[in-house]
Every structure is written in structure tokens, then in C-alpha cells.
Amino acid sequence: MIVLVLEKVPTSLRGELTRWLLEPHTGVFVGHVNATVRDHLWRKCIKAKRTGGVLQIWSTNNEQRFTMRSIGETQRQVVDLEGLQLIRKPLRKE
């Protein structure tokens, strides 16, 4: 299982991902692909994201049963805390 969350990326990238994955909500893609396709989609996102950001989550055999990676400007950050990957939402500056 793979999940991609895209923020502020070109619509052409979203269109490209619909060839491989379903888009149940704007900017959220879900599907089941092998590791080679997963990494290919990640590289495609890196090249096309421009000023936006991408979060990728996929199933794996570890304690959490998934792994995450992100790149670019996203509303949330992946943080490694003693081997566990967590999501941090930055505080708003008022």
C-alpha cells in the first residue's frame, strides 16, 4: 500500500499520478504498487514538485508497519524519534 500527499504541486503531476494511483481527495493518492514503481513515482514527484511538497507513506515490515519520507514545503514534517517516525505540525506564527 502506498499513499502520496501532494501540496501546491502542478496539476500535470497530479494527472501523471492518476495513471498509477487513485485520487480519493484532491492531492491524496492511494494504491498498491511494487517498490520499483514506488521509487519511480517518488523521483517523478521530486522533479515536478517545483515549490510544493510531497509526503510518501508505504507499507513495510517494521514496528509501525509503514515508512514515510517527505520533500519540499509541506504543512507537516516527518520526525524520527528514537526509531519511530512521527508527524510534527509546526506552530503557527501569529
Look up the CATH number of the domain holding residue 33.
3.30.70.240
Identify whether 94 is part of a domain: no
Question: What number of other Cβ atoms are within 10 A of residue 6's Cβ?
Answer: 24
Domains held by the chain: number: 1
Range of the domain at 78: 2-88
pLDDT value at position 75?
85
Q: Given a cut of 70, is residue 94 above it in pLDDT?
A: no
Identify whether 31 is part of a domain: yes
**Any idea of the CA torsion for 69, 39, 64, 49, to the nearest 10 degrees?**
30
Identify whether 93 is part of a domain: no
Identify whether 24 is part of a domain: yes
pLDDT value at position 84?
92
What confidence tens digit (pLDDT) does each residue in 10-53 have? Answer: 999 999 999 999 999 999 999 999 999 999 999 999 999 888 99
Residues in the chain: 94
**This prediction's pTM:** 0.88
What confidence tens digit (pLDDT) does each residue in 57-77 have? Answer: 999 999 999 999 999 988 888
